[in-house]
């Protein structure tokens, strides 16, 4: 088997001597970014559209194209999250929490710049690690990170999310718990028992994340604008761009986010969404309550975008090393391999080194390409905010509706989006956390399934579950965060009452 | 796929000889045929749908489109399919879950009467797999010995739904050989495979073709086949017959349905077109890659209906004995 960096050299050689490969690389880079930026219609849609055409392509070209789309697609969703508070995909939802307030403060160019640079950094680092030690890392990850560890990480995520964007600690927790209640709609992850379906077969599938994200973030803003209570306004001000010095000052955030994103991406079923929220929450907790998170702190954008792109690079490791896809697009990649008579897994490094080399080279260049693409976007797309707000809202309404429908081609998802929009509009006015609500939904689903699996594997023994160090550490951290938040909330309330 | 833009497959092969063998129907088809897969993109059902859509287009010169409407074990997508006009331009893909879903009340659609099968194109069997470097047991006999010595200790990665074909087969095996295991549900196939390779569980229950890659790569080792007669490729593995299990195997089957209100001539055309697609080199290669060539994988409309009705009766009996239905 060739060493990873020899494969990379082989891949560069193939890529740069093949005009068709260069053309497909550029197509994947631009199209992935474009589709990723359209709410609801993301890189998976593009992957589906291209699947039949990939059959006609050379195997190396087809697999390379999907790898490039995977890199650029995750980055694309950050732009709309920052400019319009509409995440292109759930993995960009954490980016909106601070990215959008930055736009409202006239700093959109700086926020977009941070997203671009950090997406590229996270992606490049994880790609280098993938090239260097794919198989060893993959085997370690699937052994070390079991359902109990996933549950522990999610517990930390939930504890942190209660402190994101709500007017008080209690409202934060209520938002998260309400999201978790919505996550119960559908069938339970163990025995498929229907819950809160109210006799509707359409609710058996549960509340889908994409229409919920679009409703909570986009529809609530559209309703707020319609009633004259919106936050967004047309603006000519994009503010200054991002200096490299500023990113350097956040180097530790970038490092932490890369590690969190990388570890999350390695485990099938965890992925980029959890990575971005845990990374965001870690920075928020470390910075303390007075750091202005949720009000336009660039560190929030850096944490979320570095982590979600680091996760996508890492997610390729189990695909290539073991043939284990972590999400829908990586599952589609496996299908592309199989359509060409190839099977990803340890043997592919021996049987098709030229294809693996091409994937390595293309993914590395795609992450570098994000920088160039991002520079163009930061000088062009940010001008969309100059459009009259009334027209912009109509445009966003159309996009959101299409995005909600596109998820499953079912009208119920459009109704869910509208319902979530009305609900979020009211909750926002009352000071509840919209991010907490969405996080409760996303993490609640993964967390319940992880907890039940962990419980079965531990024969329903809590001491056995807690004997796993990572799980115990995470659960203690979650408890400390929650108790510290409660203590601060109680103390500030007693100060308030003394004042009166 | 995600999914409204949809993967559209246009056959580049013009003047196919197969297209000329199809029955003639006036003014039909005048536009493309949509294949609806009510399951997630990237999974086994999606792969079959796409392979057939491509083969169908190749064999008929008719444009085909694949749409995914996932969630709720396929019920929302199926209901949406049945709400469309029955003009013969929509075909639904489904698998044996349509039987379990109907019997357990998770779907109102009877797969034998409320929709009409065109063909079953994919039939496969299940296996038990272990890690090749496992030392506590190395084959089925030693696994049984271990399970008897350590009741309830062995963890088996399986699907979540207790009414699924997989869970029924495992329950019946436990009953037949008088052992007890813990079924750990992993809804996503990749999670199940990682659970075995990553040593979270001891045994994996899976369809043979779905894990062929892992077996070839030396990551997994099959030790038992849920069949009556062992296929040649797995001739050395024990089967239900060799262990005297006393129950018949249930198989994973995947096929295509049409709205029963569609006119008979259009249904006949669609059935012939699916058969023509099945016979293409591409679809045969696809089935072979999934070990679907190890047993007779095709049933025409009548055969499919018989298979589904048999499955309804067998599942109902199994559910009653397991106390899942009255």
What string of DSSP letters covers B29-86?
Answer: --S-EEEEE-S-TTSHHHHHHHHHHHHHHHHH---EEEEE---GGGHHHHHHHHTS--
Q: Which residue has the higher pLDDT, A297 or A189?
A: A297
Q: In chain A, what are the domain boundaries?
A: 4-499
pLDDT at B8: 38
A268, A329, A332 ranked by CB distance to B191: nearest: A268
CB atoms within 10 A of CB A429: 12
Q: Which of A187-191, A323-327, A404-408, B255-259 has the highest mean pLDDT?
A: B255-259
Where exactly does CATH 3.40.190.10 map onto chain B? 126-234
Residues of A in contact with B160 (CB under 8 A): 189-192
pLDDT at A112: 87
> pLDDT (tens digit, 9 = 90+) per residue, B73-109?
899 999 999 999 999 999 999 999 999 999 998 899 9
Residues of B in contact with A44 (CB under 8 A): 1-3, 41
- B residues 37-76 lying closer than 8 A (beta carbon) to A: 40-43, 46-47, 50, 54, 66-73, 75-76
> pLDDT (tens digit, 9 = 90+) per residue, B267-309?
999 999 999 999 999 999 888 888 888 888 899 999 999 999 9
- A residues 201-240 lying closer than 8 A (beta carbon) to B: 201-206, 208
CB-CB under 8 Å, B2 with A202:
no
CB-CB under 8 Å, B40 with A328:
yes
3-state secondary structure of A141: helix
Would the pLDDT of B263 be above 90?
yes
Lowest mean pLDDT among A37-41, A335-339, B118-122: A37-41
CB-CB under 8 Å, B184 with A456:
yes
The mean per-residue pLDDT over the stretch B130-143 comes to: 96
- B residues 263-282 lying closer than 8 A (beta carbon) to A: none
Residues of A in contact with B82 (CB under 8 A): none
Share of chain A above pLDDT 70, in %: 91
Share of chain A above pLDDT 90, in %: 21
Q: Side by side, which strands form the sheet with B221-225?
A: B182-185, B155-158, B203-207, B126-130, B221-225
3-state secondary structure of B317: helix
pLDDT at B221: 96
Q: Is A2 left (phi over 0), alpha (psi -120 to 50) or beta?
A: beta
Interface residue A49 vs chain B (CB under 8 A):
yes
List, in sequence order, every residue forming a beta bridge with B116; answer none if it has no partner. B258
Which residue is it, tokens 């309550």? A289
The mean per-residue pLDDT over the stretch A192-210 comes to: 88
pLDDT at B7: 39
Picking from B252, B311, B295, B203, the residue whose alpha carbon sits closest to that of residue B94 is: B252
Interface residue A13 vs chain B (CB under 8 A):
no
pLDDT at B36: 95
Q: Which residue of B has its CA nearest to A345?
A: B217
Pick the CATH number of B7-122+251-322 from 3.40.640.10, 3.40.50.300, 3.40.190.150, 1.20.120.530: 3.40.190.150
Where exactly does CATH 3.40.190.150 map onto chain B? 7-122+251-322
The mean per-residue pLDDT over the stretch B177-181 comes to: 94
- Both tokens assigned to A243: 């200096």
Give domain B126-234's CATH architecture.
Answer: 3-Layer(aba) Sandwich (3.40)
- B residues 167-196 lying closer than 8 A (beta carbon) to A: 182, 184-188, 190-191, 193-194
Q: Which residue of A has its CA nearest to B67?
A: A409
pLDDT at A231: 62
Interface residue A143 vs chain B (CB under 8 A):
yes
Q: How far is CA B102 from CA B49, B92, B107, B118, in A?
A: 22, 16, 5, 19
User: Chain-wide mean pLDDT for chain A?
Assistant: 83
Lowest mean pLDDT among A81-90, A223-232, A449-458, A461-470: A223-232
CB-CB under 8 Å, A318 with B54:
no
């Amino acid at each position: 088997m060739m060493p990873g960096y020899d494969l990379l050299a082989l891949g560069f050689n193939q890529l740069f001597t093949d005009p068709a490969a260069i053309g497909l690389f550029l197509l994947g880079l631009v199209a992935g970014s474009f589709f990723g930026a359209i709410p609801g219609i993301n890189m998976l849609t593009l992957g589906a559209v291209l699947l039949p055409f990939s059959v006609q392509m050379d195997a190396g070209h087809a697999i390379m194209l999907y790898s490039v789309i995977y890199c650029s697609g995750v980055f694309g969703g950050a732009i709309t999250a920052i400019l319009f508070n509409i995440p292109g995909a759930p993995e960009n939802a954490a980016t909106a929490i601070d990215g959008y307030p930055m736009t409202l403060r006239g700093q959109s160019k700086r926020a977009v710049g941070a997203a671009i640079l950090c997406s590229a950094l996270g992606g490049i680092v994880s790609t280098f690690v993938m090239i260097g030690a794919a198989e060893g890392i993959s085997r370690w990850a699937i052994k070390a990170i079991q359902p109990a560890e996933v549950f522990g990480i999610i517990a930390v995520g939930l504890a942190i999310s209660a402190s994101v964007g709500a007017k008080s600690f209690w409202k934060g927790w209520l938002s998260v718990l309400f999201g978790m209640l919505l996550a119960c709609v559908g069938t339970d992850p163990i025995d498929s028992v229907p819950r809160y379906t109210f006799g509707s077969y359409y609710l058996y599938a549960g509340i889908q994340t994409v229409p919920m994200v679009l409703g909570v973030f986009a529809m609530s803003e559209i309703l707020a604008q319609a009633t004259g209570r919106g936050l967004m306004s047309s603006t000519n001000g994009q503010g200054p761009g991002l200096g490299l010095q500023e990113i350097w000052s956040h180097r530790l955030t970038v490092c932490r986010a890369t590690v969190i994103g990388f570890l999350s991406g390695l485990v099938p079923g965890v992925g980029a969404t959890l990575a971005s929220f845990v990374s965001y929450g870690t920075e928020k907790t470390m910075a303390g309550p007075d750091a202005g998170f949720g009000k336009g702190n660039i560190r929030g954008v850096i944490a979320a975008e570095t982590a979600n792109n680091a996760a996508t690079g890492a997610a390729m490791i189990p695909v290539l090393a073991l043939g284990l896809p972590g999400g829908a697009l990586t599952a589609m990649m496996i299908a592309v391999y199989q359509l060409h008579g190839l099977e990803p897994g340890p043997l592919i490094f021996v049987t098709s080194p030229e294809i693996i080399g091409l994937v390595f080279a293309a993914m590395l260049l795609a992450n570098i390409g994000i920088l160039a693409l991002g520079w163009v976007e930061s000088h062009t797309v940010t001008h969309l905010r100059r459009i009259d707000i009334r027209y912009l809202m109509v445009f966003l309404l159309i996009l959101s509706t299409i995005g909600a429908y596109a998820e499953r081609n079912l009208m119920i998802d459009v109704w869910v989006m509208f319902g979530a929009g009305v609900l979020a509009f009211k909750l926002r006015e009352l000071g509840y956390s919209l991010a907490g609500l969405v996080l409760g939904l996303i993490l609640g689903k993964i967390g319940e399934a992880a907890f039940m699996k962990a419980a079965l594997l531990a024969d329903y023994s809590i001491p056995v579950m807690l004997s796993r160090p990572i799980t115990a550490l995470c659960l203690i951290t979650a408890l400390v965060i929650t108790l510290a938040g409660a203590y601060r909330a109680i103390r500030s309330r007693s100060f308030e009452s003394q004042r009166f | 796929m995600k999914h409204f833009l949809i993967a559209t497959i246009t056959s580049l092969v013009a003047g196919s000889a197969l297209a000329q063998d199809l029955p003639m129907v006036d003014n039909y088809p005048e536009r493309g045929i949509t294949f609806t897969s009510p399951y997630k993109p990237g999974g086994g059902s999606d792969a079959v749908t796409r392979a057939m859509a491509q083969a169908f287009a190749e064999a008929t010169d008719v444009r085909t489109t694949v749409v995914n409407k996932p969630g709720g074990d396929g019920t929302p997508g199926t209901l949406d399919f049945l709400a469309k006009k029955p003009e013969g331009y929509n075909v639904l893909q489904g698998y044996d879950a349509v039987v379990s879903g109907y019997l357990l009340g998770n779907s109102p659609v009877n797969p034998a009467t409320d929709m009409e099968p065109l063909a079953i194109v994919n039939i496969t069997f299940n296996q038990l797999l272990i890690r090749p470097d496992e030392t506590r047991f190395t084959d089925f006999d030693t696994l049984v010995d271990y399970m008897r010595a350590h009741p309830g200790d062995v963890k088996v990665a399986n699907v979540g739904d207790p009414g699924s074909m997989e869970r029924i087969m495992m329950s019946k095996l436990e009953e037949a050989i008088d052992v007890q295991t813990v079924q750990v549900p992993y809804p996503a196939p990749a999670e199940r495979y990682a659970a075995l390779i990553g040593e979270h569980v001891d045994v994996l229950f899976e369809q043979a073709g779905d894990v062929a890659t892992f077996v070839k790569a030396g990551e997994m080792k099959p030790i038992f086949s849920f069949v009556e007669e062992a296929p040649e490729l797995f001739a050395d593995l024990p089967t239900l017959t060799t262990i005297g299990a006393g129950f018949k195997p249930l198989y994973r089957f995947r096929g295509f349905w049409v709205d029963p209100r569609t006119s008979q001539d259009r249904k006949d055309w669609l059935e012939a077109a699916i058969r023509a697609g099945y016979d293409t080199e591409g679809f045969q290669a696809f089935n072979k890659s999934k070990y679907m060539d190890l047993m007779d994988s095709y049933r025409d409309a009548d055969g499919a209906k018989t298979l589904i009705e048999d499955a309804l009766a067998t599942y109902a009996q199994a559910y009653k004995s397991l106390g899942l239905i009255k």
